[in-house]
Amino acid sequence: MHVEQTGDIAIDGLQKHIECDQPIYSANMISFLPLTTSLPTIAALERSAGCELWPWAETYILKDAVDSTYLKRWPEHDAPNILAVNPTQPLIKIQTINNEWIRAAILDVKNGGPMRKTEGFIKLDALQSVN
């Protein structure tokens, strides 16, 4: 669950993960009690959210067993390589091509992205979903 509202939340099963060099926490929500106070705007919260700035975006990273791979010019194994992708580079899915391939771009938070201009095709079996 993603909540953009101030309140008191009761959780269990808290787990810490590292994504985009930032700690991300997940847990099971037991209950939520909204509070009505004057707090920062959603825009201010989003600016501080790092790679979770675009919660609507499907984000992927390479699976642990995959050291590197390439964005391809078209969705075929022997297509020309466009750009190397390493395990520390999150990818944003642009389009599902079929059950094997997606069109994606590298996450680019530094330039106000969410995506670099460079995009290509990558096999889903090399990726694991972040969100």
DSSP of 58-122: -EEEE-TT---EEEESSSSTTSPEEEEE-TT--EEEEEE-SSSEEEEEEE-TTTT-SEEEEEEEE
Q: Where in the chain is the domain with CATH 2.30.30?
A: 59-129
pTM over 0.75: no
Q: What pLDDT is recorded for position 82?
A: 95
Residue with tokens 């009505």: 36
User: Smallest Cα–Cα separation from 56: which of 65, 46, 45, 64?
Assistant: 46
pLDDT tens for the chain, 131 residues long, are 666 777 888 889 998 888 777 788 888 889 888 877 666 666 666 565 555 555 667 888 999 899 889 999 999 999 999 999 988 888 889 899 999 999 998 876 666 666 667 889 999 999 998 87
The CATH classification number of 59-129 equals: 2.30.30
